[in-house]
Amino acid sequence: MNSRKVKKEDDECVGAVLVVGGGISGMQSALDLAESGFKVYLLDKTPAIGGTMAQLDKTFPTNDCSMCIMAPKLVEVGRHPNIELLTYSELEEIKGSAGHFKVEVRKKARFVDESRCTGCGVCTTKCLVKNIPQIPDVVSIRDRIDAKDLQRYDEIINRYGGEKGALISILQDMNAEFNYLPENALKYTAEELKTPLSQVYHVATFYTAFSLKPRGKHLVKVCVGTACHVRGAQKVLETIQRKLGIKPGETTKDQNFTLETVSCLGACALGPVVVVDNDYHPATVSTINTLFNKYEKSEEGEKS
Ligand code: FES
């Protein structure tokens, strides 16, 4: 902070103060100084004041809502006649000595007229620079997908009439069809629904029911929630790991089983619970072999 305060005969404060950093401390300092009668320049390198606190939900140690504390100060700073905001600006140089500093500030170019901006955000949807595709002749993912897969993708997408709002249902069907979500399926879905790929990935990675890695034919979920844990879920899990030769999150080499752990399956009274595909099994260490033999035999039956 750099200040110059000259007392005139009528005790009026003159001079100006530069406060560097528009976080909560900077804002409070600016307000205190402005209230004392100084002209204050509040400088921040980001496009808006607020700093890190504006990104927090709660504050330590009282767990108070950050925005509830900040919002009145933001308004006060924005409206105070003695405070001038220099956002999106950086301090380049300070010269002089106490009481007579000279500073050089570099103000970065903005693409909106600050004096007319109301913060409505419409400009981001209308921005010509952002919305014109920058890569000419973008090759469609369609040309790089195997014809058989393409047919399966189309079949699923057409089930929902190519509706953007059906994204979750489409991904559910894709996941059921392929046992996971292939990368090309996600790219193709994004292209067909005219939805950003980032949004498709956001949904695909949000739900644990979706997998981006190939899963085995049978999905084995072992509950390690509290009720199952106290009834020996850990021993059951270890027995299954030994039997299949894989750890949670892995798939057997023959692509038959994928092992996962879950926190509760809503069947605590049956615990410890193991779900294979959609079948719930109350399991103990001694019943694991019988349980898996059933699925292994059904595999052999299908092959013969
Ligand atoms: S804790 Fe396992 S089913 Fe609830």
* 16/19 Cα distance (integer angstroms): 10
> From the alpha carbon of 272, which atom of ligand 1 is closest?
2
Which pLDDT does position 1 carry in this prediction? 44
Give the pocket of ligand 1 (CB within 6 Å). Answer: 223, 225-228, 264-265, 267-268, 271, 273
Identify the pLDDT of residue 7: 40
Range in 5-9, 135-139, 271-275 the model is least confident about: 5-9
113 HSE (CA, 13 A, CB side): 2
- The model's pLDDT over 184-212, given as tens digits with 9 standing for 90+, comes to 999 999 999 988 888 899 899 888 788 88
Place of tokens 């994004």: 190
Q: How confident is the model at residue 172 (pLDDT cuts 50, 70, 90)?
A: very high
Q: Give the Å distance between the CA of 223 and the centre of ligand 1.
A: 6
Instruction: Record the tokens describing residue 49, joined without a space.
Output: 């004041």
**CB-side neighbour CA atoms (13 Å) of 104:** 5
Tell me how far the alpha carbon of residue 240 lies from the centroid of ligand 1, in angstroms.
17
Q: Which residues contact 128 (CB under 8 A, 6 or more apart)?
A: none
Q: Are strands 16-20 and 2-3 parallel, antiparallel or unpaired?
A: antiparallel
When pLDDT is averaged across residues 129-138 and rounded to a whole number, the result is: 58
Residue carrying structure tokens 């320049």: 41
- Ligand 1 atom at minimal distance to the Cα of residue 262: 2
Check whether 63 has a pLDDT greater than 50. Answer: yes
The DSSP letter of residue 7 is: E
Measured CA to CA in angstroms, residue 99 lies from 12, 22, 34, 38 at distances of 16, 22, 17, 13
Asked if 50 contacts 85 with a C-beta cutoff of 8 angstroms, the reply is no
Pairing of the two strands 218-223 and 257-262: parallel
pLDDT score, position 299: 61
What is the mean predicted confidence (pLDDT) over 148-177? 92
Task: Give CA–CA dist 132/127, Å, rounded.
Answer: 8
Quickly state the pLDDT bin for 229 (edges 50, 70, 90).
very high
pLDDT averaged over every residue in the chain: 85
